[in-house]
Structure 1
Amino acid sequence: MKRPDPARFAAARRHFEELADLEKPVRLSRLAELRAIDSELALAVEDLLAADSAAGESFLGGAVAGFAPSLLQEALGEAVEDAPDGHLEGTLVGPYRLRALLGRGGMGEVWEAERADGQFEQIVALKLLKRGMDSAAVLTRFLRERQILARLEHPNIARLLDGGVAADGRPYLVLERVAGEPIQHWCRRRNSPVAERLRLMIAVCEAVDAAHRSLIVHRDLKPSNILVDTDGRVKLLDFGIAKLLTGGEESEADRTRLEERVLTPAYAAPEQILGQPVTTATDVYALGVVLYELLAGQLPHRRDTGSALALAEEVERETLVRPSRIAAASGDARQLAGDLDTIVLKALAREPGRRYGGAAALADDLRRHLEGRPVLARPDRLGYRVGKFVGRHRVVVGAAALVLVALIGGIAVSLWQARIARLEAAKATAIQKFVFGLFEVNRVRNPDGAKARETTAEGLLKLAVVELEKNAPTTAAQREVHAELQSTIADLLADLGLHEDAVRLWTALAAEFETRAPDARLADVLVSRGIAESLIGGADKARLDFERALAILDGAGDTTSVQRGWLLYNLGHNYWSHPGSADGKAEELFRAAIAVLTPHGPTRELANAHYGLGRVLESRPDPEGAQRAFRAGIDVAEATPGISSTVVAGGYQQLSRAQVAMQQFAGAEESIRRAMAVFEEFAGKEHRLTLEAGNDLGRLLDATDRPVEALPLFERALADRLARLGPLHTLTVSTRFSFAQARLHAGDLATALADATALDRDLATDARLLEDRGGIVAWLLARALLETGRVEAAAQQLARAQPLLLARYGESSPWLVEAGLLECEIALARGAAAQARDRLAEVTGRVAGATATQARRARLALLQSAVDLALGDLAAAAASAAKAVELAAHEPGREYRRLGEAAARRAVALVAGRSGRGGEARAAADSALALYRAALLPGSPRLLELERELVRSATLADLAEASR
């Protein structure tokens, strides 16, 4: 490609910037004037305008030293050679007739076309590969765009409609024709308020997030690829240079040559310009540029596109001015200052890791700002800004530092830093080759391209494990690369829930680090392995890893690092979450973690440490203290820059449990539904996080007498836990218990009995689980047997449950109260009213303090009424039934406690029926049945039995009244 003359280069850029924002008729008129004066310059400017149009692409040519070169060089160097095929207007391409050229880029042209085969009328955008661009690499990329578009289905992404091969052999794509204008033009023309601009950007972020969730990075986001139609709907266009994160079939050389030609410098992330890896964070940066332009009215930087090297050097030196300072003249400065400045600057962070974790996180912060809630982004700290200043001005700062360096052996330091730089560069190259090699191995194993593309992330990671184990390192440098790969892949395996595979890698990595002096890296590996071991039932192994890591940090004199705080948290979690552990030790460790982490400011680790303390306090039970701890964790999480919204949601999920314990049912439901909504938005309805929040919501609904609503939530959560964890994992056992209990409460007695029987049988095969959960499962089975009329079998199960409950929970536990109440019911069912009276008196004497809730006192009154009725003391029975009604009427969360009130009114109806008061019996029976019908499964055996019992009681009372 020929090098442009600098003067003509500047002229082309000046004309482009003058014409880009003009209306089309005016722009065409100005271009005609320019063409009459200088046709070659006009063609170069047309190239630039076409590249900036709605369906065009931006292409760069001629890489220098691995950097992406200039769009203007491409335009000036190839303007004549790439003139469009104007004579194609009216030509048939497949079943479509070309109507008008919309735009063109380095590889293709985009035409407005109409369906011409008579099947139906349709105006479309047709993208046709240019003549002479049919190399294997370009064809592969063109076809990959079709593959990428076929994967995307989102209302804010232009749809792929069709595709094929033209008569001359060139492939084409047919896309939805979007009648709109670039987002910044649309906002400028309407003088859109800031809130409207932010809502449009949220829609753009949602479209980009949909692509990311399909493992697609757009890589060329800019206003001309983001159109707004006449109804104000956003449409994202042009996935011509998008990247599939799952890899592809093109060679590394072909990919590099093409990627060097496909970026728009003004909107490109630093890593694109510097030839570094592209990730979803690359799109976040481009979204930040578009957001900056929408808010401030200009780009955040004016990059020199004269040469690739100049562009790269300028990117290294760039600084950002807050959009509020730029927008001062427009009157928007006050609205932008603060949160919006911070949001924009976070999206535009120089390092990918300091940006938002994804487009969804950016959208979430924009929503928070619109709703007046605290945003998650936080301004950079002073230390970071000073470090960036040094990085931008190495020469000046370095000169000032030479005096100090000379005093401490600066030459040795410089040589060491140079060696480290060389090692890091070599390591990055080796890691890149390994990753690309994985796709090659996958292709060889799956010669069918379609099957190769179907390989999942899990499949690729497991393949990586095999390749790492096959290729043992021999040199020190290779061992460093090997260790880096093992650590990264182990982290990814753990993120996917493949903990056994992750443990294998961390074990190999620990063995490598064991050959050296123990240091923080080995401690890190031990902590990571311990976390994974905990999740696959290896609590004892995990504790050994955590304690060894702590000893390493102690030996190094580390008493204050974030690493130490995180380790203390995980060791505390280990003590708390496994039977036989002392919660006093767990509390001590959680508080120590909080003390270490708090001086570091808000972090994910500190939030989790507060959550851990909350769980310990909740188990005491100290629900009030637990609530304080959970709220402290939520506050930390919401103040942590860049933290996933799921960490905040996890805090609300745990807070809801403490709120339930304090009978704050409305607050608890609000908290758990808030958490569930975040998880569903973040990961989808069927993700583990969503289903586990659903499990908690199910428990709340069942506890508040809405078991029918709880059943589908338990069903989905149980299916997930069975598939993921197996039938005897602690979490699975918990859901099996909750599901069976909800079925019992809903009146599905036979299924509840079958579930409880199966769970009880399974626990008998695991001594640890039998000790931990055997008592409550045996109690549930006893209740299910009693409800189904099997009184003696229920008595036997309860006799087995009571010593297990006593050993596990102690004499003062509410579970012992529940067992005593069930023993009273069994005695009544046996006809042993006196025995029931005596046992009830014992239980009533023990109910005090935390166990004396309003609901439990109401149940005691109900049982007392039943005992008095069985003994024939109708007056006492009536008084106890009335007391039960009174307690139910004033119970906290009465609007949720339908079954408690129903049981109280049932007691009134039964006593009135026995007393021959027909009107009172019928009124109470009607009231009780209305409540039961609202809470139980329609047509369930339990509901039918209650209907027969209450109708019979009222009828007998009517007959008794009539006979008097």
Structure 2
Amino acid sequence: MNWDRVSELHESCLDMPSHQWKEWIDKQCTYDEKNQGLDTMVLKLLKSSSKADAFFSSLHKNIDEDLGNESEEILLQPGDKFDKFRVAKEIGHGGMARVYLCSRDDGQFEQQVAVKIMKMKGNVEFLKDKFRQEQQILAGINHPHIAQLYDGGITPEGYPYIVMEYVEGQSIDEYCKEKKPGFIELMRLFKQVCNAMQYAHNKLIVHHDIKPANILVNKEGNIKLLDFGIAQVIYSQEKGTHKADSFTGTLKYAAPEQFSSAPPSVESDIFKIGLVFYALLTNKHFDYTKVAEGRLESEIRDAIQKVSLRSGTIGGLKEKIIREDLTAILSKCLANEPEKRFLSTSEILHDLQNMLSMNPLHSRQPSMSYSLTKRYLRNKKKVWLVTFFNVALLIALVFWISQFIQTIKEKERAEFLLAFVFDIFESADPELRQGATVTVVELLENSIEKIDIIENRPEFQSELYHSTGMILTRLGEWKRGGELYYKALDLHHGFPDSRALQISRAHLYRDIAAYHRNLAETAVADSLIILAIDLYSKNLSQIDPKDIASAWNIKAHIARIDARAEQGLEYAEKSLEILRLASDTPSWELVSAKANMAAALKDLSRFDESLQVSREAIKIMELLGAEINSTRVMLVENYAIALGQTGKTTEAIEVQQELLDMNRRLYGEGSPTYLITLFNMAGNYYRLGEYHISDSINLMLFDVYMEKFGPANNYTLSVMYNLSNSFYSQRKFEKALDFQYRVLEGDRVNFGDKHPFVAGGYYSLGLTYMELEEFEKSRKNLFKSLDLYKESFGEKHHQVARVYGRIAELYCRLDDAANCSRHFDRAYEIAMDVIGEEHPITKAIINRMEFYEKLLSAI
């Protein structure tokens, strides 16, 4: 199929009403084009890509619903003033936008920029919000081979625009046609493209429109990558921002999966990089639709054989090997299935460097002859004729040396880590600190300072950041722990890819996912845990099954937080299945999986089943012996919670008293896990209505957490939240308000103004003010809570249903029967759709509906 022709027709149609498309395309297409299905393809693409999706790339995320259907645009002439710029000339236009060369006109300093003004307009306030979101992503890009984004906004008429660095140069294909660079020079340029893309991918951004026109070569002969316009954050698709039936980008340089509505990805970027590389080498476009199944490599090989490498230093055997290497690299880039492509652009860079330095490629099947040929080409001036025996001896020697070096590296690593730990604890020595004691958090903060200044050991730095982050998150310092996780991840992206690195990165993604789960940022958490599971799945033969099982456990927990209880149970069962297939023998990992499954059943209100699974786990635990460890503690904790939820509160308290003894022996009385058990025990006393005991425990915990962690720590806030609930239940509303405001302020400091925890804070205030009959304050807080929950989760969420139910109750108390009925109907509709009739929230809504219906009918 002629993709240039498809692109030409597609772009022409963008400027006409949709009802005219079919008739116009039918007239334009020849008989042969119709036989090839070209007219059908154009119509399919037009229907699957809204104009708005294709136009303002920085507002790519489903902005089409808010854009108008007019084809108006702003036309500027040389000399016109636009914002703080004076227009010099138009330098380009297409179906999406016009681009103008402008100079700064406010007298502050001289500057030339390119201003891109979109042809479509829409709701100004909506577009401003969307632009600010995208600007936060793109403003962080600062790379010598990426054109800088300076500014942007929305004109008063509603037209989006962006201000970017003006790059004076030629597109890379035009540059190659005119300058005819040699092979080595072409490789230099292409490596710059890969470097720029790897930088963006490390920032979790995909370009999504890589093509020669967006790759310029400036006057200095260096690359500048343009138009991150339809760039997307890699993980944003998990938040529902990718529209399944949308198509964006350039048709000629589209990856196969884009025609199946796949979201943007690193893999699709890699495919486009391959298309550009192929076109620069062969001066032809690679049309993968014409390649028969299984013929990809041979088609590429045939094309590469005709390429002139244009270098006097390449010839003979070396040229033959380079052609084979180019075939391997392009075949991996252009694989039809995304999972068969390079994992990252850093892999492409490594293979390009290996090709030029005559080292074996990772993308080629290893073989003795290939490795020896490469070695010969690297060292042919020094190579002497050797016998087969000497070659075998050399191979054995190389193997032995590699093992020895590995042993040395492990020894160095152990010595380095031991010295590091000794240094940390030495700094905490009371004698050195003149008698002052050091808290655990202070000790960790001291260690972070030392990690920051480690030089020339990025692997160790990453490992130490990761480990310290894990400890801090377990101490409740989630925000600080998360910062260290991301420091470790930043270092990770600079390491050469390997199996070991993939597994290490999977561990890191898993722990970062758990961190975001703790913050109730479930969309981000789910995206990351999927990445972890994917990496584990690619390396199943190299990992312990408990690693991937733990990842499924986290995914189950995320689903439970989102009130997707059935999926939570499914993922928990998946974790259990992996461990059962791996081994029939009892293990602590099996106990952990059972415990997680029991928690999922508890969330489904299937308390009897939850207790049964907990008992099964306890039997396995008994077979393992009397060892007290973290898994035993977690299981018994969940078992106690399940007892409490099934009304067996007294029995739950007895189990928790035994659990306190376990925690004391394992961790000590001041440990977070010991205090968590006390926290849960207080909850059971609260259920029994023994508020004096629950309040005493919680107030003691409050004092401990305030001293250990301060007022904004998550543990401190959780205790204050429980105290506010207890005082609310005792109708001590003024005391409840005091703690509710403290919790709200702490959550705003920790998580920002729009977090679901903050929405929960406004919800609690709304209920308390309702009981105080301060109905206007109640209304403001409840609607604030509703807006934040909807912004975080969308309309269809159990928390949204819960708030609608309470708003309905407020209107009922105000004798506003119409609003009362309307909001109860909405609450019931959402709850039934999202969580079903048996969920406690749905039952509570139904009970309130029935109560207030009787009350209002009696008035």
Relative to the length of structure 2, the TM-score reads 0.41
Larger radius of gyration: 1
Relative to the length of structure 1, the TM-score reads 0.37
